[in-house]
Amino acid sequence: MKLYDRSGFPNAARIRIVLAEKGLEHLVEFVSVDLIGAEHKSPAYLAKNPLGVIPALELDDGTVLSESTAITEYLDNLDGKPVLTGATPREKGLIHMMQRRAESELLDPVGIYFHHATPGLGAALQAHKRPQWGARAEWGQQEGERALRGMHYFDGVLRAQPFVAGERFSMADITVAAGLMFAGAAGLAVPAECTALLAWQARVHELPSVKQRSGQGFEAEDLKRLGF
């Protein structure tokens, strides 16, 4: 299989954590996509993933899966023993519910904040952003505030249970972890009063699959091109 991604980016981190959890890294060829250069918007990449985002997983038969949740479902079920997406109907329902909340209330708002309230990934991607310049910064700031509200929400969840969707580590935890990694890179710190969320983050970052990626950050080449 081939995984089209870029190290240091949140959705790429999600799938790399899944691969590590399932012991599948040795089966995958990693193909780095130049996001700052807008390679993901090129005709060649769009032919593989018309939405022009990463990651995308190309299977041995040429099938291409995009969307992190779909890729996670595929990888988690390859061995017939799902552990990240739920083994029972109840588990599956809870995990998918919390997974969606992790995206809509944390990861997506952080992404909008990063791309619209900060310089984001630079000039090459400006033509692909919406809405027009006049409203971008205000919209980005609003989404940054929404991400902070999302952190408070997950803090409340984690005061009642050890993991985001219940009693064990799941796809939803991976998405929240990636969202917090991204938030840190974008300058959105977890509020100090979110003690349950901070304790959960520290505990999850000690998991072998997460630990080696939690401080990975953007590639040195990307940081240099962005002026850092």
DSSP string of 146-166?
Answer: HHHHHHHHHHHHHTTSSBTTB
pLDDT band (50, 70, 90) for residue 148: very high
Map out the domains of the chain with their CATH numbers: 2-77 (3.40.30.10), 89-213 (1.20.1050.10)
Q: Name the residue among 228, 144, 129, 127 with its Cα closest to residue 184.
A: 144
9/21 Cα distance (integer angstroms): 18
Pairing of strands 29-32, 2-5: parallel
Whole-number pLDDT of residue 8: 80
> What does DSSP assign to residue 54?
S
- Alpha helix stretches (DSSP H) within 56-125: 68-77, 89-102, 108-116
Kindly report the pTM of this predicted structure.
0.88
pLDDT in tens, 92-131: 999 999 999 999 999 999 988 988 787 665 555 555 555 5
CA-CA distance, 114 to 117, in Å (whole number)?
A: 6
Q: Taking a C-beta distance cutoff of 8 angstroms, is the pair 110, 184 a contact?
A: no
- Both tokens of residue 211? 């630990």
**Is the model's pLDDT at 223 over the cut of 70?**
no
